A and B are shown apart, each in its own frame.
Chain A
Amino acid sequence: MRWIEAHTIRQVQRCLSANVPIVGGGSWLLSDGSVPEAVCDLREYPWAQGITGNESGWMIGPDVTLSQWLQALDSENVIAEVIRKMGTPIFRRVATVIGAVANPQPVADLYPVMRLLGADIFYIDLHHDSIQHEKLMWPFRANPRALVGLWVPASTPYRFIAFRKYTKGRLTRVLLNLGTGLAQQGDIMTADFVIGGLSQWPYEDRVAGASHSISHQISQRLRNQGNITPFYQALIMEMCDDVLNQWEHRADRRSEL
């Protein structure tokens, strides 16, 4: 297996056009199964390295591991809460943030919260000679691309963002996760939620109304989905109620972030 450490857009594009898997870290851990003939490693890509931040947000480079980001975050931060629930410390020390975002798992843990935070991804594709960026959203476009940066804004429209997940075992694949963003204007509450694990791509929806009606509305939306088992409906509702309860009991309802 050839290990290609790309340093230019042209090199990355050559890999993309040859269908060489892009490694943002983490993937190389999966030693079992089919082994590709070559991989393209972007961890040394010079465009963005490490964690750089200012008042408006953070830029996460392709070399940043989950563990490194976790250390850089306030322990109360919702992103820290998500990362702490991802795999084992050993996994977090080698898996990169970009790899976790780029890995097209329908229940990838970082995705719901990154979506709610309005994160941008920076990427190289085959059609542009410069680095492009857009809001993180799945499913990704059909065109191949390689992620080289993740921009996470510091400000958010939500006052509270929470994350919950359900797994079979403590260290096994996520079966369902939920990211919820809560905003409130007067008596009207808005809840955006992103649920992974119900369908091929995360299910996103928004409900708004009086705070006591939010839970009922989410329940209605889930029932309308049709194909969600009663257990999963109950599980999601329990997660939502837990989040709402946590919000209700917060003494200080300022923005979480």
Chain B
Amino acid sequence: MLKSVIRGALPMLAAATMLAMSSSAPAMAKELRVLAWQGYADDDWVKAFEKETGADVKVVFIGSDDEIWAKIKGSEGKDFDVMAVNTGQLQRYIDAKLVQPIDLSKIPDQKANQLPIFNDLTKVKGVMRDGQLYAVPFCFDSIGIIYNTDEVKTPPTSMDVLWDPQYKGKVLAYDNGEHNFSFTALTQGVQDPFHLTAEQMAAAKEKLLKLKPNVLSFYTTADEATQIYKNNDIALVWANYGQQQVKSLQDAGAHVAYVNPKEGALSWLDTWAVTVGAQDKDLAEQWINFLMSKQIGAQLTERTGFGSTTAPSSNAKPDDKLIYVETVEDPTKRADLWNEIKAAQ
């Protein structure tokens, strides 16, 4: 009896699938699936791009580097066509063959509009490998210290201020093992914070354990940090989102200032990359070219506070030491150690 039901159902299912496939493939408009951070694919830009190309753009916003990796690696690049990723993170996508080389001739506005430091892509660390271009820089920022000017009278100069006992329970830190080990190692005078030796790792872990009593909460998004700031007595914020966070806090009425630490500020350079699973590579490159306009660059800086690669901005003082984040020696190890730190009583 069951057999006859299945025998009857199968052809129906097959017919339904075929119907669904035939209606979706050629007749529908081109589709571009974008994986981006908040502020990288604003509605007005998306609408303008859709109008220009006739394509249908679907944007998914992510909250962390790990989420991008989980989404892209989880689908082997098939769920998205174009993605925002920083130069450090990009390396593991190239290693895992999850992104594909970009044809720069399809992106003429890169040469035309990008600022001098980004214009020659062979000189931008991390975007090229074996003579192939894998990503186009879009914007950058540093990870500095945001301090409450009502409470912190002398501007801090080093991340060491986060450990200062007078700020017990008044520090907002970021929930990410990789960065936390890197910046802590920098305060300990380590030269290469992205490739720690076993001893350096252990030393950083010890120091991070001592940070816990000072921390009120570990946040993940800028909005979240602002909400916590508003409802609590916060003196210092480890500003993973840099100027974007300063702006968000100032909009909320907070009295805050921003400084890059003297031992060097971890900085990121975000780029656009095309996945190996891209349905329409030309369309993905059109999207990148579209975002290289000076107008969008200026709007980006105005709206988010990020430094744009096409319009001048003042995101770091000229003599600030910026250290572009790289892939760390063992992300899984750092994640496990970070769990141990969080679980410690």
The finding on whether chains A and B are genuine partners in a shared complex, rather than unrelated, reads no
Enumerate chain A interface residues (CB-CB to B < 8 A).
none
